[in-house]
Structure 1
Amino acid sequence: MLLGQAESGKSTLQKQFQLYYASHSLDREKPLWRPIVYSNILKALRMLMDELDRRYGSGTSSPGSTPGTSSILGSSPASSDPLSSAESAYPLELFPLLPTLQSVVAQEDALASELSGGVKVSGGRSGVYVRAGWQALITPNRAWPLTDIRDAANRPTAVTNQVAGSLLQAQGVIAQFWTHPLVRQLVASQRVRLEEPAAFFLDNIHRIVQADYSPSTDDILHVRLQTLGVTEHSFDIDIGGVRFNWLLYDVGGARGQRHAWVPYFEDATAIIFLAPMSAFDQYLEEDPRTNRIDDSLQLFTTICQNKLLAKAALVLMLNKADLLRKKLEAGIRVRKYISSYGDRPNTYDEVSEYFRAHFIQTHRRKDVWHRVLYTHFTSMLDIKATQSIIISVGEAIMRQHLASVGLS
């Protein structure tokens, strides 16, 4: 089972497993990821526009006029942000771009609804939330043997096609907006916390909007998609000349979904726990008071203690090492968000080792079965390095499993 909080990299690791053990199936799915890429782009544009609107007020008034109380896509007026008190007008260079951007971003909810099959989450949060078999929702002529989507095979992809056309027409405006110094400044200063792949897709906007676009492997690995429930994936693997069938379970990591993990624990051979080190300056969406590193440690503690997992091998992946390095190089101080870090050097080696030590200490204290903990620093977008780790992890898990059943 792949466990960890939301946005820890579980689904990206699942795609890496699929790429290594069943690349043919990933190749067949590539066209189906196209609307997901579009959704990631629309979300990024909306977040950037919301932040500009929050700082400058509505862009719907004429350049140089006093901002109105209405706002782009319903965000709060600029008067609520003390940072914008000296900025009374929307930037003149960006103002002509707004009508086109607004018309593109206005399609986000419709696309999310099509991709999610109408699924909504509590709290009214927007975005794409998918269950197993989501591909059938956007595939007009394919039937998937899953009961919850049995009638979805004939659903049209009209919204996807409409969004594709809008992005194609707006590509120049989107590129001009994305490369504007003010927008870059917002991203660099982390005034806007874009999801990690947003910059990748916006940098590649001219390639992605082409009519014959089919997502590349890199595109699929960069995509962000919220998982609902538990999704099963099957892989045939060869270890030492012996063929095994692996069932890999990817789970939704939000707090409200973690209860769905428990029924799968008793039969689990191994737990691969992902903890995103780069999240030290972020807080849970469900609980803005809880630092994401603290939440990962608390969640890892419960996994180590759970009696249903007593026989499962434990693998810890301290993930998003590449993003951690970038944040530290940009001057973001760990101690600002984690007071216990103190005056230690704000370098990658020191910070990553600090996090590793805390997770290892948690395992030693809470794992009463004294299992071996296999620990790796990972960057899921690095195909070569991740697949090397997958091989190592697979062999270690199988050796431990065979030993546990007396076949080693």
Structure 2
Amino acid sequence: MGPDDLAQYVWSDKGNRPPFLPPSEDARENQMRAEAATRSHEIDRALAREARDKRRDKEHILKMLLLGQSGSGKTTVLKNIRMMGDNEKWEAERGLWRPVVYYNLLHSVNAVVQALGSAIVHPAETVSAGRGAPASFSPTSSWDSTTGRHSTDSRASSERPPPPALTMQHGKLRLELAPLRQVEADLEALLTTQAVDDSWDPGDAVLVATPFVDVPVENICGPREKPKELTARSHEEWMGTVAPLLRAAQTGASNVVTVAANVLWHQHKDITQLWQDRAVQDTIRRRRVILDSSGVYFLNHAGRIAQRNYVPTDDDILHARLHTISVQEYNIDLPDPQATQNSDSVQPHFAKLRGKFGVEQWRIFDVGGSRTQRAHWLPFFDDVKFVLFVAPIHCFDEHLAEDHRVNRLADSIQLWTALVKSALLKRTDFILFLNKVDLLRQKLAAGSDPARHVPQYTGGLDPDKFTSYVKRSFSQIYKQSPLSRPENRTLYIRTTAAVDPQHTQATLVSIEDAIQSRNVEKSLGLSSLQ
């Protein structure tokens, strides 16, 4: 075949090019347009799926914010909710709380040992009350270390013989317990987030008092100290650190947790002797040692916690204190009523939320309550259906650890005022827990008068009257907000104890009441339930 014949072959056959020649530019452009169209359709489908998921989330996910100042008890409320609604994960995490309980016990023991040492070195010194009597001890009342409660019977107090003086035996006991300080420090290093500064300085003034109100610097530059509280970035972080150590301990490996367990086992009798000694108890009262209810609880149960086969109980976990500085998100999947009809383990209120109201998941955000963390509350206000605000009412005579000029009860009221005035929450229902009424009763029984710190209050030492006064104050602030219209949102108020499983039931009842209202039914897409 010659060249002419080849050319004729190439350009014949009605102009079709042979398959071995490269495609034209038009063909490449058509292919690119087809690929672009395919990608565009995929993006459209992804956006449609995302929109459907968002609609579904709005209809079937109950989003709640858990807010309150540091130390308000809101984390204990969350623990109660998880214990009842997410029991499988709760049980899986139970053993991980062992080093946290050890730390809490050791921290309380060492506080008592330190007071004992100071009393031995300076026996005539009496520490003044300073910023107000602590919640757990008072020189005007006797303290029963077995029950963790005050005795205010003046006749019994007057008939009680004077406490014995400190002796050389107390000095020996102090020396025997001295190694516990290093064990506490080792556990703190294990559990505490490194390179985390949860303190604050006047440069943080804009958002430290409330999430939304500017505060003049001169109003917050009083004495400051960093809170002495076990702090981790998140529960996932410290649990991830502890889990491999506990697994290794099962094979006989030694680590900080096993050392703590062994030390407590060998010295638990000394700890019990220290805590129950009348001279030590008198030293605690005279020197105003601040032990909160959790510290008293762990000292009362030191013998049990120190046992070789110790496993934390629900009460141990509820009392364990560990401060987290990041936002904690918890998703509780509510049970399908059809699948759990014959199950006694399903809490009726959780089943009702799923069966009657169609809520498939309860999403709870626990946002840090210290002053430097409150600026982080704002992003979580979007599309939230409930705010559970926890306000401790026993702390009328206490001040913030971050700023000793700020009264804790006044700080809660400031926070509440800012929340109910936030336009982002104008269609969000509020649940208010006036918390720690049990500690309030103890404090008033010990003779601490709220009128010294709350001049408007005139009800004396009656805990019911003071609770009613605080309830009216919070309720009035809510009603005075122009956003608090009945058609927009509802307020539910409950009084609760420091560690009480009824926290959960009160929360669930309030949520059920709110969902049944026309306003929340509409926001959840449940208008058919009218």
Q: Same fold (TM over 0.5)?
A: yes
Q: Distance in 2 between matches of 1:249 and 1:312?
A: 15
The one-letter code of the counterpart of 2:84 is Y
Q: Which of 477, 483, 488 is matched with 1:368 structurally?
A: 483
Q: Which of 373, 376, 379 is matched with 2:497 structurally?
A: 379
> 2:146 aligned with 1:42, yes or no?
no
Can you give the 5+ residue segments of structure 1 that lack an aligned partner in the other structure? 59-66, 68-77, 84-88, 144-155
Q: Distance in 2 between matches of 1:161 and 1:332?
A: 42
Q: Which of 171, 176, 188 is matched with 1:100 structurally?
A: 176
Q: Return the offset for 1:266.
A: 1.2
Deviations along 1:241-272, one digit per CA (max 9) or x if unpaired, are 13421110112211111112111111321110
Q: Distance in 1 between matches of 2:166 and 2:282?
A: 15
Superposition pairs of residues 220-235 of structure 1, within 5 angstroms: 220-235=317-332
Q: Against the structure 1 CA distance between its residues 160 and 297, is the aligned structure 2 distance closer, same or farther, given a 3 Å change threshold?
A: same
Q: Distance in 1 between matches of 2:371 and 2:89?
A: 31
Q: Against the structure 1 CA distance between its residues 336 and 55, is the aligned structure 2 distance closer, same or farther, given a 3 Å change threshold?
A: farther
Provide the residue aligned with 2:260 in structure 1: 163
Q: Against the structure 1 CA distance between its residues 372 and 174, is the aligned structure 2 distance closer, same or farther, given a 3 Å change threshold?
A: same
Bigger-Rg structure (1/2): 2
> 2:505 aligned with 1:388, yes or no?
yes
Provide the residue aligned with 1:211 in structure 2: 308
Q: Against the structure 1 CA distance between its residues 379 and 125, is the aligned structure 2 distance closer, same or farther, given a 3 Å change threshold?
A: closer
The one-letter code of the counterpart of 1:94 is H
Q: Which of 301, 305, 328 is matched with 2:421 structurally?
A: 305
Q: Which moved more, 1:200-209 or 1:260-269?
A: 260-269
Deviations along 1:384-406, one digit per CA (max 9) or x if unpaired, are x2232132023134335323355
Q: Return the offset for 1:170.
A: 1.0
Q: Distance in 2 between matches of 1:339 and 1:51?
A: 34
Provide the residue aligned with 1:86 in structure 2: none
Q: Distance in 1 between matches of 2:505 and 2:285?
A: 32
Q: Against the structure 1 CA distance between its residues 96 and 258, is the aligned structure 2 distance closer, same or farther, given a 3 Å change threshold?
A: same
Provide the residue aligned with 1:283 in structure 2: 399
Query: What TM-score do you get using the length of structure 2 for normalisation?
Result: 0.65
Q: Distance in 2 between matches of 1:367 and 1:206?
A: 55
RMSD over aligned Cα, in angstroms? 2.6
Q: Distance in 1 between matches of 2:117 and 2:73?
A: 31
Q: Return the offset for 1:299.
A: 0.7
Please tell me whether the aligned partners of residues 129 and 227 of structure 1 are also in contact (alpha carbons under 8 angstroms): yes
- Indicate the SS of the match to 1:248: strand
Provide the residue aligned with 1:57 in structure 2: 121
Q: Return the offset for 1:92.
A: 3.4
> 2:314 aligned with 1:198, yes or no?
no
Can you give the 5+ residue segments of structure 2 that lack an aligned partner in the other structure? 1-64, 130-164, 200-225, 248-252, 335-350
Q: Against the structure 1 CA distance between its residues 310 and 218, is the aligned structure 2 distance closer, same or farther, given a 3 Å change threshold?
A: same
Provide the residue aligned with 1:178 in structure 2: 275
Provide the residue aligned with 2:229 in structure 1: 127
Deviations along 1:180-207, one digit per CA (max 9) or x if unpaired, are 1133235557812212111111111111
Provide the residue aligned with 1:315 in structure 2: 431
Q: Which of 339, 346, 349 is matched with 2:455 structurally?
A: 339
Q: Return the offset for 1:157.
A: 7.9
Provide the residue aligned with 1:111 in structure 2: 187
Q: Return the offset for 1:347.
A: 1.0
The one-letter code of the counterpart of 2:326 is G
Flag as ranges the 4+ runs of structure 1 deviating above 6 A: none
Provide the residue aligned with 2:61 in structure 1: none
Q: Which moved more, 1:265-274 or 1:125-134?
A: 125-134
Provide the residue aligned with 1:22 in structure 2: 86
Q: Which of 229, 232, 240 is matched with 1:136 structurally?
A: 240
Please tell me whether the aligned partners of residues 449 and 460 of structure 2 are also in contact (alpha carbons under 8 angstroms): no
Provide the residue aligned with 2:469 in structure 1: 354
Q: Distance in 2 between matches of 1:29 and 1:161?
A: 18
Q: Return the offset for 1:96.
A: 0.8
- Indicate the SS of the match to 1:308: helix
Q: Distance in 2 between matches of 1:6 and 1:289?
A: 16
Please tell me whether the aligned partners of residues 104 and 320 of structure 2 are also in contact (alpha carbons under 8 angstroms): yes
Please tell me whether the aligned partners of residues 55 and 81 of structure 1 are also in contact (alpha carbons under 8 angstroms): no
Fraction of identical pairs, as percent: 31
Q: Return the offset for 1:232.
A: 0.3
Please tell me whether the aligned partners of residues 439 and 498 of structure 2 are also in contact (alpha carbons under 8 angstroms): no
Please tell me whether the aligned partners of residues 423 and 483 of structure 2 are also in contact (alpha carbons under 8 angstroms): no
Q: Distance in 2 between matches of 1:177 and 1:184?
A: 9
Q: Distance in 2 between matches of 1:93 and 1:350?
A: 47
The one-letter code of the counterpart of 2:492 is Y
Q: Return the offset for 1:312.
A: 1.5
Q: Distance in 2 between matches of 1:51 and 1:141?
A: 33
Q: Return the offset for 1:35.
A: 0.7
- Indicate the SS of the match to 1:118: coil
Q: Return the offset for 1:380.
A: 4.4
Q: Which of 367, 370, 380 is matched with 1:264 structurally?
A: 380
Q: Which moved more, 1:286-295 or 1:157-166?
A: 157-166
Higher relative CO (CA 8 A, sep ≥ 6), structure 1 or 2? 2
Provide the residue aligned with 2:522 in structure 1: 403
Q: Distance in 2 between matches of 1:101 and 1:142?
A: 25
- Indicate the SS of the match to 2:377: helix
Q: Against the structure 1 CA distance between its residues 46 and 382, is the aligned structure 2 distance closer, same or farther, given a 3 Å change threshold?
A: same
Q: Against the structure 1 CA distance between its residues 259 and 196, is the aligned structure 2 distance closer, same or farther, given a 3 Å change threshold?
A: same
Q: Against the structure 1 CA distance between its residues 302 and 403, is the aligned structure 2 distance closer, same or farther, given a 3 Å change threshold?
A: same
- Indicate the SS of the match to 1:352: helix
